[in-house]
Amino acid sequence: MALSDYFIRFLEQRDSLSDAERARLSGIQTRRVTFASGEVIVARQVVVDQSCLMLSGMSARIHNLAQGNDRVITALHVPGDFVDLHGFVLAGLEHTVIAMGQTEVEFVSHDQLRQLTDEWPHLTRLLWMSTTIDAAIHRQWLVAAASLRSSAHLAHLLCEIYTRLSSVGAAADYRFTLPLLQRDLANILGYSPIHINRAVRDLRERGLIRWAGTELEILDWPGLTKLARFRPDYLDMEKLSR
Amino acid sequence: MALSDYFIRFLEQRDSLSDAERARLSGIQTRRVTFASGEVIVARQVVVDQSCLMLSGMSARIHNLAQGNDRVITALHVPGDFVDLHGFVLAGLEHTVIAMGQTEVEFVSHDQLRQLTDEWPHLTRLLWMSTTIDAAIHRQWLVAAASLRSSAHLAHLLCEIYTRLSSVGAAADYRFTLPLLQRDLANILGYSPIHINRAVRDLRERGLIRWAGTELEILDWPGLTKLARFRPDYLDMEKLSR
DNA sequence: CGGCAAATTGACACATCTCAAAGCCTGTGG
DNA sequence: CCACAGGCTTTGAGATGTGTCAATTTGCCG
């Protein structure tokens, strides 16, 4: 199949594409695959010859620790994200990517990416940009981890997820589907599941969120962003020539 | 001046360069500047038209928090690092870069980088790679923050710094210059300076390190890496065709 | 209805923060 | 050479944040 529009829209929010560039991107051939919750989308440290984009649902980068079932999640992906594009230039991924809830992704071969980057320098810089936005999100998670307490830290994550989902049209009206368990939030934020539960209760008691099953609603966006000191500039959503 | 060899060696550790590529890189013109400890090398959110490489000393990416003097450090740079190359494809940096101890850097104009990336796709992928290694380090810091207690967390940072310094020839024999105060370590790891002090004492009492002024010696490398569960694969030091 | 995983709660242990004070090192001026 | 000042390091004590363990409740699914 042809590359979906999601990623192209992601790029066009941040720079202008010529008609030729848009056509070149649309000409990329992809293979669509659906995954059930918890399935491995990309395995760790396998020689990779393709990268994948999110079409629907969410996925996470998981780092398994030596001992026990402990795992740490270092990234979450929403529709439009080029999940493991960094695998194209790295020796191999030091993490696994798994589906959080049911997801649909599309795979692009590295052969096609190599051809594209050999001939289209501006598009190459835009692909590159998408991996550096990933890195900016990593940095913001580091800042949040170092400076926020559990409730505010959780609030920050929810603000980011909603902002990213709504920017690609996958959420609106302060409601979204959150296909994560409290255990998953614990693995993202570095707390015990029990402490996450207390943080969730705290946000509920402050009247900031409503959350049942996989449906989450932000009841007080100004309050939530204030608690989290959320400033979305790191998501780099300005339109510029790159 | 011409681009120094440091970064070229960084690339050649990870992929092969043709003679033409090596010559093309050496042809890049740079401007060398020396900074005193604490000086701003790259200011936040200014429109940037150049990026810099470390020649000597260390620098850090600083995120200033809204209130008070609180700051978080999300990256440390050693000689050979292309410190803010991500600024070439991003809209602007959401952080400041400051000198830790006296440093020497060289600046490369984005005009030159744009020319290079317009004509040399393989070199472009290698520049790209260097930013994705940065991101892999960010992820490892997230993993360490989520899974290690203070002493082990500090040990992990020291293992990483020594590994990165020695891989570019800036350290050997388990000794290196660490131009950081305990306050800086606190800003990196997300602890109070007082707690860092206790972690340092702990590592000393276990006979793992010796540290006086800016000179640090690792007395028991196996012990330190074991405590930190340090696995350097995320630094991506394999040689491959990219 | 029964069974299982997840969410929730309570009690207590451990980790880390804050505040305050003392010790150490270095540069400066007398 | 000494006295002093200032910043950094070190230590102690009590407050707060978070982890662990155990038990209960909830919700979903067969």
Q: Tell me the per-residue pLDDT of B48-86, one tens digit each, with 9 for 90 and over.
A: 899 999 999 999 999 998 766 689 999 999 999 999 999
**Tens-place pLDDT, residues A7-56:** 999 999 999 999 999 999 999 999 999 999 999 999 997 788 999 999 99
CATH number of A5-141: 2.60.120.10
Hey, what are B155's tokens? Answer: 């040990």
CA distance B114 to B51: 12
Put simply, the answer to whether A121 touches B125 (Cβ < 8 Å) is no
pLDDT at A68: 59
What length does chain A have?
Answer: 242
Phi, psi at residue B7, to the nearest 5°?
A: -70, -35
Residue A124 is nearest to which of B117, B133, B233, comparing CB atoms? B117
Residue–nucleotide distance: B213 CA to C30 C1' (Å): 29
pLDDT at B46: 79
pLDDT at A239 over 80: no
> Which stretches does DSSP call E strand in chain B?
31-35, 40-42, 50-64, 71-77, 96-109, 175-177, 209-212, 215-218
pLDDT at B69: 66
Residue–nucleotide distance: B37 CA to C21 C1' (Å): 29
Name beta bridge partners: A62: A73, A96
Number of cross-chain residue pairs from A and B with Cβ atoms under 8 Å apart: 141
pLDDT at A59 over 70: yes
- B95 vs chain A: nearest CA distance in angstroms? 9
Near-strand D residues (CB closer than 7 A): A 149-150, 190-192, 194-195, 213; B 181-183, 193-194, 197-198, 200-201
CA distance B148 to B225: 12
Hey, what are B185's tokens? Answer: 């370590």
Interface test with A, best of B45, B139, B184 (most A CBs within 10 A): B139
For tokens 């001992």, the residue is A67
Query: B17: which DSSP letter?
Result: -
Query: Domain segments of chain A: what residues?
Result: 5-141, 147-235
CATH topology of domain B147-235: Arc Repressor Mutant, subunit A (1.10.10)
**Tens-place pLDDT, residues B183-194:** 999 999 999 999
* CB-CB neighbours of B20 under 10 Å: 10
Longest dimension (CA), chain B: 55
Instruction: For residue A14, list chain B residues with Cβ-Cβ distance below 8 A.
Output: 91
Put simply, the answer to whether B91 touches A14 (Cβ < 8 Å) is yes
Residue A139 is nearest to which of B128, B138, B143, comparing CB atoms? B138
* Contact by Cβ (8 Å): B116, B24: yes
Nearest-nucleotide field for B180 (CA, C1'): D8
pLDDT mean across residues, chain B: 94
* Domain A5-141 shares a fold with domain A147-235: no
CA distance B157 to B144: 9
Residue B70 is nearest to which of A121, A147, A240, comparing CB atoms? A147
Hey, what are B73's tokens? Answer: 């450090």
Residues of chain A with pLDDT > 70, as a percent, come to 99
| CB proximity list for B129: less than 8 A, separation 6 or greater | A89, A90, B14, B15, B236, B242
Rounded to 5°, the CA angle A193-A197-A200 comes to 135
pLDDT (average), residues B140-168: 96
